[in-house]
Structure 1
Amino acid sequence: MSTNKLYHVTLSEPAFRTRHIMGSSYGWLITADERSNLILVNPATRAQIAMPPPETMNNVRLRYTEEGVLDGYDVLYMDLFSSDFDTETEPYHLTLEEARFFFYERVVLSCDPSQGNCTVLRVQLPNNQLSYTRVGDSKWTWIGGKGNCWKYQDILHNNNDGLFYGVRGRGEVDSINLNGPSAEVKVILKPIISYQAHSRYIVQAPWGDLFQIWRHDKYSNENGKRERVADKFFVYKIDLLNKSLLK
C-alpha cells in the first residue's frame, strides 16, 4: 500500500468474477463458485485450496434431471436432538448457484490454510447450524446431537486457546472445541434475553478480549416502502471467568 500502485492478479479457473466472497482470514479469501464449491484463495501468492464439495455434507443430495444432467441440490432437514433426517419435511430444493448462500452463512478459519492443519467452520441453513472440515479432509462433518446447536448468528476462532466461539440469537455464547476426534460444544454464556430482537456479532480485540456487538435496526414504512433508516450498536465484553456480559 505504501507504493500506491494497483496490481492485477490472474487466477486459475473457475473464473474469480463468477464467485462470491463468503469471508476472509489470514490473508485468504473464502470464495464459493457457481457450483457452490468452497475454494480458499490467496490473492498474493495465487494459491488455491478446494474444500470438500457440498454433496459430502450428510444431509445434501445431488439432484439430476430426467436426462441425467446435474441440476442442483436437495437438502434434507436434520433433527437437532436425534441427528436423524426428518423424512416428513420436504427437502430444500436449491440450484447449483444459489446453494452457496444456503451452505455458507458464515465461514471462519482456525489458521493460515497453507500450514496444513487448518480447520474450517461454517454456519449453514436451515436453522443456522454448524459443520466443519479440515484442509485435506474428504467431507464435511455436521455438529449435531444437541438441541442447542443451532441459531448461530456469528462465529470466530480464538488463537489464544485454540477454540471456536459462537453467539446465538438470545445472546448465548458457546465454545466449540474441534481439536479432538469429535466436536465438543459447551455453553459459556446462557441466554441474556428471552427473545431475539438484534443482530449479534462476536469479535476479538487485538489484546485478546471477546466482545458481543448487538445491532438494532430501525425501519421506516413511509410511502409504503420499508427502508432501514438507522442502526444502534451496543457493545458488551464477554467475561468468560464469571460467565457474564459487561457493557
Structure 2
Amino acid sequence: MVAWSDMTQDVLAHITSFLPFPDIYRFGAVCKNWRSVSKLRWHPPAPLLPWLVLEEDSEIKKRKFYSLLEAKHYSIEILELQGRYICGSSYGWLFAVDKNITGILINPFTRECYELPPFPSYNEKSNVTTLLEKVPSDYIDGPRGYTFEEMQTLIVFKAILSHDPRDRSDFTAMILFGEINTPAFWKPGDSSWTVVDGPKYRMEDVMYFKGNFYVISSMNVLHLVEFEPGPKLTEVGPRIGKEGCPEQRYLMDFNGNMLFIERYCEDVEGLTITVGFNVIEPNLEENRLYEWFDIDDYALFLGRNSSIFVNSSHVAKCKKNGIYFTDVIDGFADRCQDLGIFNMTDKKISTFYSVKVFPPRIGSPIWLTPIL
C-alpha cells in the first residue's frame, strides 16, 4: 500500500480537479507533497462561485472574504493589502491602491505580486484637488468623512487585465481613473501609465474582448481602444440603450458574445436601490442590437470586477438566470448597502448577503474568483 503522502502527483492533481477552492487550500496544508500538487495546473479547478472581497479588520489587520458557496467568512492576513483600497479584480488577481496613489496587482492567496507605477492622478485630465472641491465640506475630516489621503485612494474607479499573468507575461492592465474615468494602460516593463485620448465625458466600464479593449460611456457610446499610432478611443457599433437612464452600465464577454448590461435604480428613503437590469448584445458586424430576456442556466456577477459568468448547472447554490450584483460606490458615498440577485425570469430581487452596510472607506465589496 502506498502512503497517502506518497501518492503520485498525477493522481493527486486529478483529485484536486474535483475540489472547490477552500478544499484545495486545505488539501495543500496536509503535507509538502500535497502542497506542491495544490499549486499545479494540470487540471482545471472545479467550478465555483466567486468570493466577495470585503473590508480589512482594523483590529487584527486581516482582510475579510465571504464564500458564497459555503455562506462563510474568512479572515486572512495579507500584508500586501493592509491599508489598501481594492479597485479591481481579474482572473483571480486584485488591484489595490494606497494613500500615496501607488498600486499593486496581487493574487491574494499565492501572494504573487506586481508593483504598479503611481497612477496618473495629477495631470490636466484628473486632479484630486478638483475632486475635493466638488465634495460637500461636511464630508471632509468629519466623523464619517474622508481625509485628503483617503480620497486619493478613490482615484481609480475600475481596473482589469487582458490576460491571466500566470498564462502570459505580456498582459496589459487597463484602468478607468479620475474625475471622468479616463482610460489608461500599463504593461510589465513600463515605467508609467499611458493615458488614452478620448472624448471628455464619463466612461463607465471597460472590458477585454477578442483581442481588444472596449469602453462604454455614460452617453451609451461604445468605444474601441486603439493603441497605434497613438492610444485613442474610436466609436464603434450602434448607440446602446437610452441615454442617461441607467444608474450604471457594464460590459462583459459572455461565452464569446459581447454583452452590454444596464442597471436601473430608484431612490428609496434617501438610498439608491437597484430595481432591475436590461441585457443587450451589440453585434458590431451587423451594427445591430439584440435584447436578451434570459441567460438560461447561467448567472452573471457584476460590480467593480471584470464581469464573471458561471454555469449554475455545474455549481451548487448558484441561482440560474440571475444577475448577482454589488454596489458600485462612485466618489464619496456614505455607505454601501445595495447587493442582491436579480432574477431575469420573474424580475424580482433577492438577497445573498445578510449584512448590507459597509464602512465608506472600503469602497465596494468586489467579486473575486479565487485561484492558487
Query: Does the pair score TM above 0.5?
Result: yes
Over the matched positions of the two proteins, sequence identity in percent amounts to 22
- 1:214 is aligned, of 248, 262, 273, to 262
What aligned pairs does 1:22-171 form with structure 2 within 5 A after superposition? Answer: 22-54=87-119, 57=120, 60=122, 76-78=123-125, 91-92=130-131, 95-102=148-155, 104-114=156-166, 115-144=168-197, 146=198, 148=199, 150-158=201-209, 160=210, 162-171=211-220
What amino acid sits opposite 2:249 in the alignment? Answer: R
> Are the equivalent residues in 1 in contact too, given 2:263–2:274 (CA < 8 A)?
no
| Preserved contact between residue 36 and residue 97 of structure 1 (Cα < 8 Å) | no
Query: Where does structure 1 lack aligned partners over 5 or more consecutive residues?
Result: 61-75, 80-84
Tell me, yes or no, if the aligned pair for 1:113 and 1:135 is still in contact at 8 Å: no
Larger helix fraction of residues: 2
1:70 corresponds in structure 2 to none
Contact 1:216 1:232 in 2 (8 A): yes
Deviation at 1:232, TM superposition (A): 1.2
The answer to whether the 8 Å contact 1:77/1:126 transfers is no
Cα distance in 2, alignment partners of residues 140 and 4 from structure 1: 35
Q: Which amino acid aligns with 2:231?
A: A
Structure with higher Rg: it is 2
Structure 1 pair 129–230 and aligned structure 2 pair: CA distance change class (3 A): closer
Deviation at 1:191, TM superposition (A): 3.2
d(CA) in 2 for partners of 1:3, 1:125: 35
C-alpha deviation, 1:200, in angstroms: 0.9
Task: Point out the structure with the larger strand share.
Answer: 1
Partner of 1:231: 275
* Mapped partners of 1:107, 1:196: distance in 2: 23
Q: Is the 8 A contact 2:125 2:182 kept in 1?
A: no
Aligned length: 207
Deviation at 1:9, TM superposition (A): 6.0
Give the partner amino acid of 2:103.
Answer: L
TM norm structure 2 = 0.50
8 Å CA contact 1:36, 1:98 repeated in 2: no
- Unpaired runs of 5+ in structure 2? 1-18, 27-74, 133-146, 292-372
Output one character per residue of 1:155-201: Cα deviation in whole Å (capped at 9) or x when no partner. Answer: 0111x2x10011111321111133x4632432113434673111211
Normalised TM-score (structure 1): 0.73
With over 3 angstroms needed to count, the CA separation of the structure-2 counterparts of 1:3 and 1:204, relative to structure 1, is closer
